[in-house]
Structure formats: structure tokens, C-alpha cells
């Protein structure tokens, strides 16, 4: 009986040590490691493309230079209009429309400067002279 109690106490001590978190959550929902690097970055899926915002046209419309070599007139969907503030030079994730996909699309996500640097280091974003 005494041996069982000691075993339980040792098991509880080991489980308490394992529960310590190794990363923190930032305000944007990305996990930040103790060293300050971004661990998770949203990557393009399916037909989504990365792009750099060239010009704001007004009325929730933007001109985005995409990394597939095309310039698209993109819009900010209504559910994101108030939450997503964009400036020239921002790196964004664009989802081309099914109809007129080479000319138009929707802005799905805006990357933080830290996430944009990570994308450049990993080769997802090419230098502007290349495209």
C-alpha cells in the first residue's frame, strides 16, 4: 500500500514537469517560441497565391502584384473589411476568382512583417527583380 502511494507521487511529479508550455501565443494567434521566432505561418493552399500590394484603388479594391507573374485587381471581402488594414508593400495571400482568375481575386490574409521575413528566408517570396 505504501509502495503504491509512492509510485503515484512520483507519477504526479513527472506529469507536472511535462505540462510546462514551451511557446506563447501572440495576439494574432501565431505561436512564438521563447527565442522570438514565428513557428507557424499560413502558407498558400490550392490555387492561392502570394502577392505584394502595389496600390490601393478605393472601395475595398487593391492592385496586387502576385508571384505567379500576374497583376490582379483584388477586393477585401465584406467579413474582413473592418479588421484588415492594408498599405502599399504589404505581403498578402490572394485567392483568384474562378471566373476571370487571371485578372481578379480576393485578399484572404495579410502577413505580419516577421512572417514576411520568414517567407523570404524560406524562398516563398522571391526578390522583386525576379518576377
As a whole number of angstroms, the distance between CA 23 and CA 5 comes to 33
As a whole number of angstroms, the distance between CA 50 and CA 128 comes to 13
pLDDT digits (tens, 9 = 90+) for 87-112: 999 999 999 999 988 899 999 999 99
The whole-number pLDDT of residue 58 equals 85
The grid coordinates listed for 28 are: 494574432
The whole-number pLDDT of residue 47 equals 92
Q: What is the CA radius of gyration of the chain?
A: 22
Residue ranges of domains in the chain: 2-32, 49-126
As a whole number of angstroms, the distance between CA 97 and CA 31 comes to 31
Question: How many whole angstroms from its chain centre is CA 59?
Answer: 24
3-state secondary structure of 57: strand
**Residue 79 or 95, more confident:** 95
Do β-strands 24-25 and 31-32 pair in parallel, antiparallel, or remain unpaired?
antiparallel
pLDDT digits (tens, 9 = 90+) for 20-59: 444 444 544 455 555 556 568 889 899 999 999 999 998 8
**Coarse DSSP helix, strand, coil percentages of the chain, rounded to the nearest 5 percent:** 25, 30, 45
Q: Are 11 and 17 in contact (CB under 8 A)?
A: no
pTM over 0.75: no
- Find the largest Cα–Cα distance for the chain: 76
For the domain with range 49-126, which CATH number is right: 2.40.50.140, 3.40.50.150, 3.30.2090.10, 3.40.250.10?
2.40.50.140
The whole-number pLDDT of residue 65 equals 94
Amino acid at each position: 500500500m505504501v509502495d503504491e502511494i509512492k509510485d503515484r507521487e512520483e507519477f504526479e511529479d513527472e506529469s507536472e514537469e511535462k505540462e510546462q508550455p514551451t511557446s506563447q501565443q501572440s495576439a494574432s494567434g501565431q505561436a512564438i517560441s521563447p527565442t522570438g521566432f514565428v513557428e507557424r505561418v499560413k502558407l498558400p493552399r490550392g490555387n492561392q497565391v502570394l502577392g505584394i500590394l502595389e496600390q490601393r484603388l478605393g472601395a475595398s479594391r487593391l492592385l496586387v502584384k502576385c508571384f505567379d507573374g500576374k497583376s490582379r485587381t483584388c477586393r477585401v471581402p465584406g467579413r474582413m473589411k473592418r479588421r484588415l488594414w492594408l498599405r502599399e508593400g504589404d505581403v498578402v495571400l490572394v485567392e483568384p476568382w474562378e471566373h476571370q482568375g487571371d485578372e481578379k481575386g480576393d485578399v484572404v490574409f495579410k502577413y505580419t512583417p516577421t512572417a514576411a521575413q520568414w517567407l523570404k528566408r524560406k524562398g516563398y517570396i522571391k526578390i522583386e527583380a525576379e518576377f
